[in-house]
Amino acid sequence: MSVHKHGTTGPGCAGTCCLKATDLGVSFGGEEVLRDVSFHLHCGEIVALIGPNGAGKSSLFRTILGQVPHTGTIEFQRAGGDKTRPLIGYVPQSPSFDRGDPVSVFDFFSAAISRYPVFLPSPRRLRARVAELEAQAEAARAERDRLEYKYRCESLINTELIDLCKREGVPFREALTRRPW
């Protein structure tokens, strides 16, 4: 993925897609949550939004999605210069699902990677792709678990070695470089 930034010449983003927010403000019940927030993001740009709990991160996302009334402007521009609102995927911190809904992991994966309706029987290719992604996710989990186990073992060995060095009066660095053979 490449980042497409506009130059200093020409109108706006000169045909590239972007999201521009200017002087955003959000208030809930008279309490100001966001004030004078401005930014300009381009397609392909990876940005992290970091802040303490209650700083307004989720409120900012909900504002961009059009779920929250705000002051200021939010502009979307598609690559062709079209200024319509794009499709944005968003999963809230605490999603509220109806416990009675029969939604499976397969349904979520399918919805994320395809436009095929999840309420219809899934085509074989979609099922195969979801199975492939689930296998990749499982392999990543297994590798994470292996690395965590290795780290715990190394930590335990180092702790034991440090204790042994203290008891025997041997400097830790020297114990690491000694060869028993």
Interval 51-65: pLDDT, tens: 888 888 889 988 988
- The rounded mean pLDDT for the chain is 77
Q: What's the Cα-to-Cα distance from 12 to each of 18, 40, 43, 85, rounded to whole Å?
A: 9, 11, 14, 16
> Six-digit token pair at 176?
């690491």
Distances (CA, A) of 126 to 48, 91, 104, 105, 106: 31, 22, 15, 14, 10
d(CA 49, CA 16): 22
Nearest to 109 by CA among 136, 130, 127, 89: 130
pLDDT tens track for 88-122: 766 666 666 666 666 777 777 777 777 777 777 88
What tokens does 135 get? 């296998």
**Helix crossing, 105-113 with 124-168: angle to 10°?**
110
Strands, DSSP E only, in the chain? 18-28, 31-42, 71-77
